[in-house]
Every structure is written in C-alpha cells, then in structure tokens.
C-alpha cells in the first residue's frame, strides 16, 4: 500500500524523508520518490527499494521542506514515470488512495491542454492544482495560494486520498489533506512531519494530530499548522501523545501482521469494489475485463484454477457463477489441472485466482489452459506479477500488501471480485433483473461496516479460541457457499496453530468422519441463515448426539441456534450470498487467537512461504 511522508523544518529535508520512507517499507511498495523544495522543486524517483532511490540522490540536496512516497501500484505499471511525486509546472504532489473519477478528470484536463506523463490517477491532482493556481496550462500569474488551490481541487475528487503538496511559488508551505486514507501530523520542536502512519516520524516526535476526513492542513516553517474543514472553516485539533515503541509501530501497533491484515479488511473490501459498482443502475463496471457482451453471452463454461486459500475462494466463485449467472463452473487446483481431460476451450473462460500472481502451479495450469485456446483472466493482488504478463486480462483485488503468510484480506477481496464478476455476467446473460442486481449491490456496500462490527466484538472470539486451544482436532462444517468457508476455516487454523483441522460439507459427516467425534473435538458449524439453514440444524444435532462441542457461526438475530450449540459467534445479518465473507473474518480471528494462545509463529508458520514459486 502506498505511503506518504512530508517534512517542514530547519534540517535538510531529503535525509529525513528517506528515513521516514524506510519506516513505511513494511507496507509494501514497488517504487519510491521524494521532492525537496529550495528555490525550485528537486524531484528524484525510481523503482524498487529505497536503497535504489538513495543511490540516485546527489550529495547535499538543499531544502528544508519536502514530500515523499512509497508506491504500491494500482493504476499503471510499477515504473519510474508512474512513481510519485507527480508534477505539473511548479507543483508537486504525493497521494495515497484511489481517485475513482480520474478518467473523467483526465479527459477534461487533456482538453484544457495538460499533457499527462504517467498512467496514474494521481497525476490529475497535480494538474488540477496547477490549473487552480494559474488558471490553466498557459497561466503565468498566481491566482491563489496553494492552500486555496488544494481546497478547490478536492471539490472535484471522488474516491480516497491522503495527499501532500508543494509549490515553488508558495515557498515555505506544505498542504496536506485526507479522505478515507490515513494521515497523521507529527509536532516536533520547530519542525512538523506528515505521514500515512506515525511509524514514519516516531523517532522524532510522539506528539501527533490525526487528520480527519475532509480536513486540510497548511503547514509552515517554524512549526505552524492550521487545520480547516471541508467548508474552509478553521478547526481546532487536539495533540495526542503516542505511547508506541518503534518496533510495534511497524505493525501499526498490532502484535502480528496477520492481525493487522484481518483489521484492514473493512477498507480493503471497500477499495476493491470502489468505483466499480453503481447500485443506482444495478451495474458492475469492470472495463479491465476486456470481454464483449457477445463473448460473455456465448460462454459455455468457466474453469477456475487456483491453490490453497485462493482455491477456496474459487469454490465460492463456482456457486456464484452457477447460481447467479447460470454458467457451469469447474474448480481445479493448479497442481491437478494438468492431469484432467484436455478440454476444448473455444467458449470456456479460465479464471486464475492468485494473490501473489507468482504461484508456480497456478501459472503452469494457466499456460496449459491457454495452450488449448482458452481465454484466460486473472484475479490477483500484485500489479506487475508474472500472471499479469501471461494472461488476457487482469482484475486486481485492492487488498494492499499482505505480509502475514496466512491469506486473510486477499481472500475476502477475491470473494468480492468474484461476486462482482458473477453479477456482471448474470446481468449480461439476462439471468437477473436490474432490480435484483441493485439489491445485491446495496447488500455488498454494507459489507465493510459489517466487517467492522465483527472486529469490534473480537473479544468473544478470543475467549472461544482460548477455551478450545488445547484441542488436538477440529472440524469445520458448512453447506452450499459455507462449505468452502468451512474448508478455509480449517486451513487457517491448521496452518498457523498446527492443530489438525478438517473442513467438511456438513452432509458428508455421516459418511465417515462422525466416527472421529468425541467430547474433545470442537466442531465449528457455519450456520448463517439461508436455504440450507434447517439442514445445518439437523447436522448440528447429529454432531451433538456424539457429544462433540459445537461452536456455531450464526446471524446476530438468530435466537434458535443457541438451543443446540455450546458457543455462538455472531455475524451481522447479511445477504445469503455475502455472509461467507463475514463468516471468514470470524474464522480468521478464531485461528489467530488459537495460534496466539499456543505461542505459535503466526506471521511465519513453519514450513510455509508466502509465495510458492516451485511446482
């Protein structure tokens, strides 16, 4: 995920910015840059590590005010041109977030004569700032100061942003603003810092001010900061003392990356559908899919290829594509696909799901599918990864970098992408009405808030995890869409807590596994309301009759379930097709707290790697 930093003080800015960017490295990035203002703007940027950026910096860069950025590519390849800061005349800007209406703004700015150098959404901010400052590309006289130009620019932006801007005709001031992307100001002694998180400047100051949504701040040399609300009214802000150690802060205060990434899901899910859905029209816009309506209508089958957690997401995708869009869907693991019958793929769409975009088995299987003539698309989280170079089109999840080995936010954002894709196919194939599609999109928009509710109540899940952390075996059961979620719940638990865990289709227990159940075997039953609910209750009774302990994942308004089970972990009531996303967050927390209780190496479980690049 991108990170921004800024400095206004009396010391040379360049080295402070570089140091701050290093502190943001844990967020993950593919390129970095800084801009220092002395008499003019001096900009340095490049791809790869911050060490690469350091190697291109000349000695003794003068200037005590500057901005910097680590970029995690979303719009446009990870290359030097696309890295930040972005410039327009004597204006420089860094940005974290996504400008959803950038195409529309870009078109207008091009019409006004602005020339775009990069493929990023951010560059529109630089040109908008310039056009407000000078009245257009050919303007010579300054019409307003940087602060006013930022305020005017923000009025046209839709989406999320944390920005920091400089302008050489307004020296000695840095302007920052935020909406839906983190931004914090550090108050030092005669110097001010700005950053995406406090890690960046923690070694200089622990006195911070959190910028709120729609606020703008003007930061001047001498340590003077003024805050304004969206209407330009001055705002008084409270300075807070942060009691963090630098080591903790690298995980933003979370004990493990996995916990941090579980908590990021409300925003990563939101980012993944942002700008892609219109609930007013019941439409999903996925231009990057690059498929004509004709191709979508003539599709006869979908072949999903993935491994591990991504394969579990694929199984959810099968239900979605079949139920919503009426397209027969097969799901194969990358490592097994090649042993199947070589299908004739004229009308078959292959969908590869891979967080890293580097999983060797998935890559090999996709190469195989394409060699049969299949059109292939990828759902991945990493811009520029191998799969993106070997595929017809790419749908990016916007989970941001996932550092913990156990996939969490990449899984839920894959589910969101599959959901949008299935809805798009369903509409084009005439399988659902605009009205039904609208309702499903309204339900989708509620998911980030529902995830947040689960996170707010995580203590109950932690208690439950503690209670059963000594177990040797666990079962996870579910039906229909909750069956893959049972598989995923078991996978999470086994990989990080080393407890033997099996995921089962609830109806299959009686065909063998019931023999294993004792009063020492917790069975997690995913029993959210839906058309299989009654059958799940019967399966739960079967399990209870064998004295096993049942932990149910159930809707918050379900009062029936408590009669049959030992513990209930609640999820907010949501649409049946979306509740798997919420249940998975509960199961991630259950696995996390179980592993924590058992003292396991959560972020780096034994024998596992984040990216499996061998077949």
Least distance in angstroms from the C-beta of 488 to ligand F6R:
8
Closest to ligand F6R by CB, 343 or 403:
403
| Binding residues for ligand F6R restricted to 350-379, rule: CB under 6 A | 354-356, 359, 362
Closest to ligand F6R by CB, 140 or 614:
614
Least distance in angstroms from the C-beta of 268 to ligand F6R:
15
Among 94, 307, 394, 490, binds ligand F6R (CB under 6 A): 307
Span from 303-311, 417-425, 461-469, 580-588 in contact with ligand F6R (CB under 6 A) = 303-311
Structure token pair of residue 455? 């996170």
- How many residues make contact with ligand F6R (CB under 6 A)? 15
- Contact between 612 and ligand F6R per CB under 6 A: yes
Least distance in angstroms from the C-beta of 355 to ligand F6R:
3
- Contact between 309 and ligand F6R per CB under 6 A: yes
Span from 349-357, 460-468, 500-508, 527-535 in contact with ligand F6R (CB under 6 A) = 349-357
Site string for ligand F6R, 400-429 (x = CB under 6 A): ------xx----------------------
What is the set of active-site residues?
Answer: 2, 610
134 in helix, strand or coil? Answer: helix
- Which residue, judged by CB position, is nearest to ligand F6R in the bound state? 308
Least distance in angstroms from the C-beta of 259 to ligand F6R:
14
Q: Are 578 and 416 in contact (CB under 8 A)?
A: no
In whole angstroms, give the CA distance from residue 146 to residue 219. Answer: 11
Site string for ligand F6R, 496-515 (x = CB under 6 A): --------------------
Closest to ligand F6R by CB, 122 or 356:
356
Residue with tokens 């009214």: 233
| Binding residues for ligand F6R restricted to 230-249, rule: CB under 6 A | none
In whole angstroms, give the CA distance from residue 257 to residue 28. Answer: 12
In whole angstroms, give the CA distance from residue 451 to residue 14. Answer: 40
CA angle 358, 359, 363 (to 5 degrees): 85
Closest to ligand F6R by CB, 389 or 541:
389
Closest to ligand F6R by CB, 4 or 366:
366
Least distance in angstroms from the C-beta of 381 to ligand F6R:
8
Query: How far from the centroid of its chain's Cα atoms is residue 592's Cα?
Result: 19
Closest to ligand F6R by CB, 199 or 386:
386
In whole angstroms, give the CA distance from residue 71 to residue 4. Answer: 9
Q: What is the CA radius of gyration of the chain?
A: 26
Least distance in angstroms from the C-beta of 148 to ligand F6R:
46
Preceding peptide of 85 cis, ω within 30°: yes
Least distance in angstroms from the C-beta of 489 to ligand F6R:
11
Closest to ligand F6R by CB, 125 or 587:
587
Closest to ligand F6R by CB, 157 or 304:
304
- Contact between 397 and ligand F6R per CB under 6 A: no
Q: Are 371 and 390 in contact (CB under 8 A)?
A: no
Give the strand pairing for 522-526 and 549-555: parallel
Preceding peptide of 316 cis, ω within 30°: no
Structure token pair of residue 518? 């004792």
489 in helix, strand or coil? Answer: helix
Phi-psi map region of 69: left, alpha, beta (phi>0 left; psi -120 to 50 alpha): beta
Among 272, 310, 323, 437, binds ligand F6R (CB under 6 A): 310
In whole angstroms, give the CA distance from residue 272 to residue 473. Answer: 35
- 83 φ/ψ angles, rounded to the nearest 5 degrees: -75, 160
| Binding residues for ligand F6R restricted to 212-231, rule: CB under 6 A | none
Q: How many residues does the chain have?
A: 615
| Binding residues for ligand F6R restricted to 472-491, rule: CB under 6 A | 491
- Give the ranges where 72-198 is alpha helix by DSSP (H): 102-111, 123-134, 146-156
Least distance in angstroms from the C-beta of 358 to ligand F6R:
6
Structure token pair of residue 472? 């040797």
Structure token pair of residue 426? 């369903």
Span from 22-30, 48-56, 267-275, 348-356 in contact with ligand F6R (CB under 6 A) = 348-356
Residue-wise burial string across 57-92, b where 16 or more C-beta atoms lie within 10 A, e elsewhere: beeebebbbbbbbbbbbbbbbbbeebbbbbbbbbbb
Q: Are 335 and 361 in contact (CB under 8 A)?
A: yes
Span from 152-160, 262-270, 306-314, 502-510 in contact with ligand F6R (CB under 6 A) = 306-314
CA angle 44, 49, 55 (to 5 degrees): 50
Least distance in angstroms from the C-beta of 310 to ligand F6R:
4
Least distance in angstroms from the C-beta of 110 to ligand F6R:
37
In whole angstroms, give the CA distance from residue 487 to residue 508. Answer: 13
Residue with tokens 């330009």: 232
Closest to ligand F6R by CB, 118 or 417:
417
Maximum Cα interatomic distance, the chain, rounded to a whole number of Å: 83
Closest to ligand F6R by CB, 350 or 359:
359
Q: Can you give the binding site for ligand F6R, defined by CB under 6 A?
A: 307-310, 354-356, 359, 362, 406-407, 491, 495, 611-612
């Amino acid at each position: 995920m991108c990170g921004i930093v800024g400095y206004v003080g009396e010391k040379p800015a360049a080295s402070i910015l570089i140091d701050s960017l290093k502190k943001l490295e844990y967020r993950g990035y593919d390129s970095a840059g800084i801009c220092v203002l002395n008499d003019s703007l001096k900009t340095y940027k490049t791809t790869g590590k911050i060490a690469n950026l350091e190697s291109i910096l000349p000695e003794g860069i003068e200037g005590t005010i500057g901005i910097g950025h680590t970029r995690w590519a979303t719009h446009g390849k990870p290359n030097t041109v696309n890295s930040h800061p972005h410039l327009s005349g004597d204006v420089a800007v860094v940005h974290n977030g996504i400008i959803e209406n950038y195409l529309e703004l870009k078109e207008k700015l091009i019409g006004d004569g602005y020339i775009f150098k990069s493929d990023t959404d951010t560059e529109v901010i630089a040109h908008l700032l310039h056009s407000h400052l000078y009245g257009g590309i050919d303007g010579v006289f300054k019409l307003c100061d940087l602060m006013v130009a930022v305020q005017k620019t923000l009025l046209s932006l839709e989406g999320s942003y944390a920005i920091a801007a400089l302008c050489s005709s307004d020296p000695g001031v840095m302007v920052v603003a935020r909406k839906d992307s983190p931004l914090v100001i550090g108050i030092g002694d005669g110097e001010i810092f700005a950053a995406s998180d406090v890690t960046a400047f923690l070694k200089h100051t622990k006195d911070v001010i959190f910028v709120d949504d729609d606020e703008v701040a003007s930061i001047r040399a001498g340590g003077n900061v003024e805050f304004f609300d969206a209407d330009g009214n001055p705002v008084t802000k409270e300075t807070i003392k942060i009691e963090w150690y630098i080591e903790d802060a690298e995980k933003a205060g979370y004990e493990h990356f996995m916990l941090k990434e579980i908590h990021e899901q409300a925003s990563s899910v939101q980012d993944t559908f942002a700008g892609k859905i219109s609930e007013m029209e019941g439409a999903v816009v996925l231009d990057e899919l690059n498929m004509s309506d004709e191709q979508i209508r003539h599709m006869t089958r979908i072949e999903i290829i993935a491994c591990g957690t991504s394969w579990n997401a694929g199984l959810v995708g099968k239900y979605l594509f079949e139920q919503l869009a009426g397209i027969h869907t097969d799901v194969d693991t990358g490592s097994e696909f090649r042993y199947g019958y070589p299908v004739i793929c004229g009308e078959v769409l292959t969908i590869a799901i891979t967080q890293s975009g580097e999983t060797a088995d998935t890559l090999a299987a996709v190469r195989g599918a394409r060699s049969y003539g299949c059109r292939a698309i990828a759902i991945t989280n990493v811009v520029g990864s191998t799969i993106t170079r070997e595929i017809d089109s790419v749908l990016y999840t916007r989970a941001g970098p996932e550092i913990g080995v156990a996939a969490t936010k990449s899984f839920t954002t894959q589910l969101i992408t599959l959901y949008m894709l299935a809805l798009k196919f369903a509409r084009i194939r005439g399988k659902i009405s605009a009205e039904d599609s609208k309702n499903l999109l309204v339900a989708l928009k509620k998911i980030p808030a529902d995830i947040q509710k689960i996170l707010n109540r995580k203590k109950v899940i932690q208690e439950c995890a503690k209670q059963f952390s000594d177990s040797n075996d666990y079962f996870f059961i579910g039906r229909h869409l909750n069956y893959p979620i049972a598989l995923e719940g078991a996978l999470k638990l086994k990989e990080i807590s080393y407890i033997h865990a099996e995921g089962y289709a609830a109806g299959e227990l009686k065909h063998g596994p019931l023999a294993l159940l004792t009063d020492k075997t917790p069975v997690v039953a995913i029993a959210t309301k839906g058309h299989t609910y009654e059958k799940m209750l019967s399966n739960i009774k079967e399990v209870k009759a064998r004295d096993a302990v049942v932990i149910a994942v159930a809707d918050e308004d379900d009062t029936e379930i408590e009669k049959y089970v030992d513990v209930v972990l609640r999820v907010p009531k949501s649409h049946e097709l979306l509740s798997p996303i919420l249940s998975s967050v509960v199961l991630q927390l259950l696995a996390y707290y179980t592993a924590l209780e058992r003292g396991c190496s959560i972020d780096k479980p034994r024998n596992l790697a984040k990216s499996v690049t061998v077949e």
